[in-house]
């Protein structure tokens, strides 16, 4: 389906941008308020100079907190975002197909690409949009074969600092949080870590866990699992067999199916 559907049919608009002079705490507020994981950074003339993501804020804030041996999980320095901007903006042209956009996400290991029209950014296509496309296409094969293994998980008693460091080292957007019986109770990701930045590093990850997690049978049709994830705004779909979690399907896994 990816070769016949236009990327612009699924792109979100407008593209929320931030000036290079914006302070890091303001960047986090804007990412949170707009519900996006990444924003282009622009110069005073509005020209893109790069991107900043939640992961960038997490990395900088955690490094500063560790270095200063602080009492909070994260310590975002009072500095302009242009100090940490990543200069490469991943884009596709406005005539690209959804398959082109998905293939670019996979090749670059990013969860969104910006759609360029002439000299401007017309929109953005993310893995959430890919999920919607999978659901709309009614793809009926089971979700199980799409899942990655093993699942990156932590017990609910894990200290916040350890869970956050695990996020960075594993290069994943979210960890599955397990209860004492090994059952998934939620997700701890970049959003949750940034929301918990003022908490003590030794506090248990369970107090910052999000319930935005979908667990489905490995036999569930792909379109239905994608619809559940998109409607619940879940960033992970766990596949279950005989009551045990056996795999995880991320936005990039859905993108692989489209590509």
pLDDT at 224: 96
pLDDT in tens, 104-120: 999 999 999 999 998 89
User: Half-sphere exposure of residue 209, counting CA atoms within 13 Å on the CB side?
Assistant: 24
**Residues 132-140, mean pLDDT to the nearest whole number:** 95
Three-state helix/strand/coil letters over 36-101:
CCEEEEECCCCCEEEEEEHHHHHHHHHHHHHHCCCCCCCCCCCCEHHHCCECCCCEEECCCEHHHH
The pLDDT value recorded for residue 2 is 63
Ranking 129-143, 200-214, 241-255 by mean pLDDT, the lowest is 241-255
| Tens-place pLDDT, residues 66-100 | 887 678 999 999 999 999 999 999 999 999 999 99
pLDDT digits 0-9 by tens, 26-62:
999 999 999 999 999 999 999 999 999 999 999 999 9
Q: Over the chain, what is the mean pLDDT?
A: 92
State the architecture of 7-126 in CATH terms: Roll (3.10)
CATH 3.10.580.10 intervals, the chain: 7-126, 144-258
Strand ranges of the sheet holding 244-249, from the earlier edge strand across to the other edge: 214-217, 237-241, 244-249
Specify the CATH number of the domain 144-258. Answer: 3.10.580.10
Q: Is the pLDDT of residue 247 over 70?
A: yes
Strands 174-178 and 184-189: antiparallel
Is the pTM value of this prediction over 0.85?
yes
Residue 150 pLDDT class (50, 70, 90 cuts): confident
Q: Is the pLDDT of residue 124 over 80?
A: yes
Largest CA distance in the chain: 57
Q: Is 130 helix (H, G, I), strand (E, B) or coil?
A: helix
């Amino acid at each position: 389906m990816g070769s016949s559907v236009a990327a612009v049919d699924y792109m979100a608009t407008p593209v929320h941008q931030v000036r290079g002079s914006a302070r890091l705490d303001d960047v986090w507020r804007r990412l949170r308020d707009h519900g996006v994981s990444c924003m282009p950074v622009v110069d005073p003339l509005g020209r893109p100079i790069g991107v900043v993501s939640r992961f960038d804020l997490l990395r900088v804030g955690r490094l500063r907190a560790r270095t200063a041996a602080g009492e909070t999980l994260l310590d975002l320095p009072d500095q302009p975002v242009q100090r940490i901007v990543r200069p490469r903006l991943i884009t596709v042209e406005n005539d690209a197909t959804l398959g082109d956009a998905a293939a670019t996400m996979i090749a670059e290991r990013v969860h969104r690409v910006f759609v360029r029209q002439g000299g401007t950014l017309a929109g953005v296509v993310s893995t959430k949009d890919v999920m919607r496309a999978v659901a709309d296409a009614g793809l009926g094969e089971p979700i199980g074969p799409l899942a990655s293994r093993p699942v990156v998980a932590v017990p609910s008693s894990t200290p916040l600092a350890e869970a956050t460091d695990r996020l960075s080292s594993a290069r994943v957007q979210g960890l599955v949080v397990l209860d004492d019986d090994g059952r998934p109770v939620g997700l701890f990701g970049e959003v949750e870590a940034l929301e918990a930045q003022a908490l003590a590093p030794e506090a248990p990850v369970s107090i910052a866990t999000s319930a935005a997690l979908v667990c489905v049978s490995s036999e569930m049709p792909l379109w239905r699992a994608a619809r559940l994830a998109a409607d619940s705004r879940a960033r992970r779909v766990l596949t279950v067999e005989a009551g045990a979690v056996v795999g995880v399907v991320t936005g990039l896994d859905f993108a692989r199916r489209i590509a």
